[in-house]
């Protein structure tokens, strides 16, 4: 592995590791290997981007890293814990506390205020209710939406909606942020704002970030690029 | 096990919000439950009203009255004897000697013999065929609470009884039938060619359901009925104790007295409370049966709830996927949708209770109906249970969705 010279962070311990992960989709009697033996390590404090052509398996890989899906074979280790031994409830708790997921489609609850959307992960956590609002406001302030607390998604621009989604991903103070094409539905200005936010989260708040994008310019902003092709890691590079 | 997250009030709040998002659908969905609960409340209120009404009727008979009747009236469980077996038909009648001996054996009580007959009664206006005529003593009016109220005449006297005087006391109903216009009091009627004077008209008593209709009786001195019947058989005896604490012991004494003369199945000694509890048990059975039939519509309502919850779950698959992606564990999703189903059916139950209550108020104008707290509690409990039972399938379906498949759902 070649370390990026531009990196200001010293990558630490391995927080996430995939070993020979295969994901096979079966429809009817045809099977398709969306991932074909992927092994990778992600260290604490890294900013990694995953890129590759459409249909190469980026989202599939991201879902497995994010514990939203389980591999057909192979192991996923999160902070040295093999997650194949965990049940649905334990996985949900990890998704709630350790991981923060940002989607291309934002996935905000309709007719629900920005503040309530941001606070949603808290209702499944141990954070006492009295702290929910102050935490929600803090997160929305961090993404620059402190004056849009009561706006519903329909009353926000696309870029603002994605920032609400990022605030939601941050509310439980996760170690790892996973973002699948977070700028895919945004214009270039909003996309730039979102990328700046990720840099801030990585460089200032020392969070580990995994970003999926098919935009090479965005991918190059990371410490490390993983290029995936036909379900296999093609190049792992700066 | 960990504590419930999210807490119930968060879940209830979000359920109410999602129910309110689809108001017309909520109303249509709850209709089955509403109809079911309304009919259960209405039917039980009618059953209960009936019971209260009959109890009041019996209270007017007095709690210190004991009846002695031929035949076996009650079965061993306290219900009415339904056996049409021999014992009911080898009906002993009592004789005047029995009455006299009983009077001697048991002191301090009023013993009133009753003999009955069915005859035609004519007034100047009309004829009532096959009417019940009851021959009894001067004491019966007071013992059975049948003394005409002020202005409506009187019961016949001991003197009139002894002389078999041609006097009659009419029930309210038959009095009106015989004299549709004006009062029957003081008028003359013909009973089996005997010209008799109406000396009293009893206040309206109302018929006890299934029981004899006192309002249609004509009461005359017992000797007159003996003459009509051509014998001196006594059909029933009424025993009035001086207070109701003596009822139990007197019943035992009376039973002992008759056991010396008759087989145990040939006569029945009972008091009004016994009669009442038998009637009550019949009404209760009837009410439960009717309410049970009405409860079938609750099942139909439950299926409606299940249907709409399944629709809700598939409509909100994406939301479920998102919630799971950010940390909702399966049970949290299960509880969320279960609570929504329960709220939906309890909402229907609540509306049903209000409608049933209003309905029973309306019915009460022409038929006794009275909503009981227990029927409200049961109706509410049942609708909550319906919500749970029919909400489990959709909720468990939601909780088992894979987060990523749910998120991808279009
Ligand atoms: N549920 C599924 N069933 C069958 N095949 C699937 C399923 N999900 C993904 N695939 C297939 O797996 C492959 C990888 O899909 P994936 O979504 O990971 O691609 P991607 O790299 O994210 O592409 P894009 O850049 O367009 O988002 C594709 O060929 C896709 O058709
Ligand atoms: Mg993708």
Q: What DSSP assignment string belongs to B52-119?
A: HHHHHHHHHH-TTEEEEEES--B-TTSSB----SHHHHS---B-HHHHHHHHHHS-SSEEEEEEEEEE
Atom of ligand 1 nearest to the CA of A228: 21
> Is the full-model pTM beyond 0.80?
no
pLDDT at B107 over 60: yes
The answer on pLDDT for B222 being more than 80 is yes
Residue A42 has pLDDT above 90, yes or no: yes
The per-residue pLDDT for range A165-223, each reduced to its tens digit, is 999 999 999 999 999 999 999 999 999 999 999 999 999 999 999 999 999 999 999 99
DSSP letter at B154 equals -
Would an 8 Å CB–CB cutoff place B318 in contact with chain A?
yes
Residue bearing the CA closest to ligand 1, atom 6: A25
Task: Output the pLDDT for position B241.
Answer: 87
Nearest ligand, CA A58: 1
Tokens of A190: 């909003």
How confident is the model over B6-27, as a mean pLDDT?
86
- B316 touches A at CB < 8 Å: no
- What ranges do the domains of chain B cover? 8-56+279-407, 108-242
pLDDT at A44: 95
What would the mean pLDDT of B303-322 be, rounded to a whole number? 91
- The per-residue pLDDT for A51 is 95
Stretch among A10-14, A143-147, B59-63 having the lowest mean pLDDT:
B59-63
pLDDT at B83 over 70: no
First and final C-alpha spacing in chain B: 35
At B149-174, the pLDDT tens digits run: 888 999 999 999 999 999 999 998 89
* Chain B residues with beta carbon closer than 8 angstroms to that of A107: 318, 321-322, 325, 407
> Distance from B53 to chain A by nearest Cα, in Å?
55
CB contact under 8 A, B21 and A101: no
pLDDT score, position B3:
59
Peptide bond into B6 cis (omega under 30): yes
Average pLDDT over residues B18-38: 88
The average pLDDT across A106-114 equals: 93
Q: Which residue in chain A has the smallest CA separation from B409?
A: A107
Residue of B219, B231, B202 lying closest to B161 (CA atoms) = B219
Which residue blocks in B233-372 are alpha helix, DSSP H? 247-259, 272-315, 317-325, 330-363
The Cα–Cα gap between A69 and A25 comes to 12
pLDDT at position B60: 65
Question: Which secondary structure element, helix H or strand E, spans residue B376, and what is its range?
Answer: helix B373-399
Percent of chain B with pLDDT over 90: 30
pLDDT over 50 at A2, yes or no: no
Query: In which band, very low, low, confident or very high, does the pLDDT at B379 lie, cut at 50, 70 and 90?
Result: confident
Q: Which pLDDT band, with edges at 50, 70 and 90, does B84 fall under?
A: very low
pLDDT of residue B181: 86
Confidence of residue A4 (pLDDT cuts 50, 70, 90): very low
More confident residue, A8 or B348: B348
Percent of chain B residues past pLDDT 70, beyond the cut: 91
At A230, the pLDDT band (50, 70, 90 cuts) reads very high
Domains of chain A: 5-237 (3.40.50.300)
CB A167 within 8 A of CB A141: no
């Amino acid at each position: 592995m070649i370390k990026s010279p531009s990196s200001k962070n010293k990558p630490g311990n391995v927080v996430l590791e995939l070993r020979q992960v295969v994901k096979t989709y079966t429809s009817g009697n045809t099977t398709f290997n969306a991932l074909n033996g992927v092994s990778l390590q992600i260290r604490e404090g890294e900013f990694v981007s995953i890129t590759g052509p459409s249909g190469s398996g980026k989202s599939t890989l991201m879902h497995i890293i994010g514990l939203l899906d389980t591999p057909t074979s192979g192991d996923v280790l999160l902070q040295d814990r093999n997650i194949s031994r965990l049940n649905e409830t334990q996985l949900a708790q990890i998704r709630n506390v350790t991981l923060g997921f940002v989607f291309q489609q934002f996935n905000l609850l309709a007719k629900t205020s920005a503040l309530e959307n941001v606070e949603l992960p808290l209702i499944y956590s141990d954070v006492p209710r009295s702290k929910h609002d102050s935490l929600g406001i803090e997160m929305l302030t961090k993404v620059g939406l402190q004056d849009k607390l009561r706006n519903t998604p329909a009353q926000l621009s696309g870029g603002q909606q994605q920032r609400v989604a990022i605030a939601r991903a941050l509310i439980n103070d996760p170690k790892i942020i996973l973002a699948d094409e977070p700028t895919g539905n945004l214009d270039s200005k909003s996309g730039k704002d979102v990328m700046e936010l990720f840099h801030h989260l990585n460089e200032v708040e020392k969070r580990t970030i995994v970003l999926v994008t098919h935009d090479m310019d965005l991918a190059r902003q990371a410490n490390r690029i993983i290029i995936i092709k036909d379900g296999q890691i093609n190049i792992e590079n700066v | 096990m960990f504590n419930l997250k999210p807490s119930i009030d968060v879940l209830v709040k979000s359920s109410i919000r999602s129910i309110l998002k689809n108001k017309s659908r909520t109303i249509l969905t709850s209709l089955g439950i509403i109809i079911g609960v309304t009919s259960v409340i209405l039917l039980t209120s009618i059953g209960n009203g009936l019971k209260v009404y009959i109890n009041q009727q019996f209270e007017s008979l007095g709690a210190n009255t004991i009846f002695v009747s031929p035949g076996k009236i009650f079965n061993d469980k306290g219900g009415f004897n339904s056996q049409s077996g021999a014992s009911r038909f080898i009906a002993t009648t009592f004789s005047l000697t029995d009455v006299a001996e009983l009077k001697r054996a048991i002191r301090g009580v009023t013993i009133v013999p009753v003999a009955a007959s069915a005859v035609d009664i004519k007034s100047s206006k009309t004829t009532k065929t096959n009417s019940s005529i009851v021959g009894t003593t001067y004491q019966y009016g007071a013992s059975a609470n049948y003394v005409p109220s002020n202005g409506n005449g009187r019961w016949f006297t001991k003197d009139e009884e002894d002389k078999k005087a041609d006097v009659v006391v009419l029930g309210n109903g038959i009095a009106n039938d015989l004299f549709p216009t004006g009062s029957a009091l003081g008028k003359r009627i013909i009973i089996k060619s005997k010209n008799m004077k109406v000396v009293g008209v009893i206040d309206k008593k109302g018929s006890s359901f299934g029981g004899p209709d006192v309002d249609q009786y004509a009461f005359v001195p017992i000797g007159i009925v003996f003459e009509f019947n051509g014998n001196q058989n006594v059909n029933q005896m009424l025993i009035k104790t001086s207070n109701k604490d003596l009822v139990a012991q007197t019943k035992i004494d009376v039973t002992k007295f008759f056991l010396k003369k008759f087989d145990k199945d040939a006569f029945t000694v009972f008091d009004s409370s016994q009669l009442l509890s038998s009637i009550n048990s019949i009404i209760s059975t009837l009410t439960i049966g009717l309410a049970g039939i009405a409860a079938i519509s609750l099942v139909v309502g439950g299926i409606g709830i299940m249907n709409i919850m399944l629709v809700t779950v598939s409509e909100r698959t994406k939301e479920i996927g998102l919630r799971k992606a950010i940390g909702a564990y399966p049970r949290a999703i299960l509880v969320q949708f279960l609570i929504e189903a329960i709220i939906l059916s309890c909402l229907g139950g609540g509306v049903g209770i209000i409608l049933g209550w209003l309905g029973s108020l309306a019915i009460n104008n022409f038929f006794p109906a009275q909503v009981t707290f227990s029927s409200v509690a049961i109706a509410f409990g049942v609708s909550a249970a319906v919500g749970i039972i029919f909400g489990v399938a959709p909720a468990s379906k939601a909780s088992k969705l894979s987060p990523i498949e749910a998120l991808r759902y279009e």
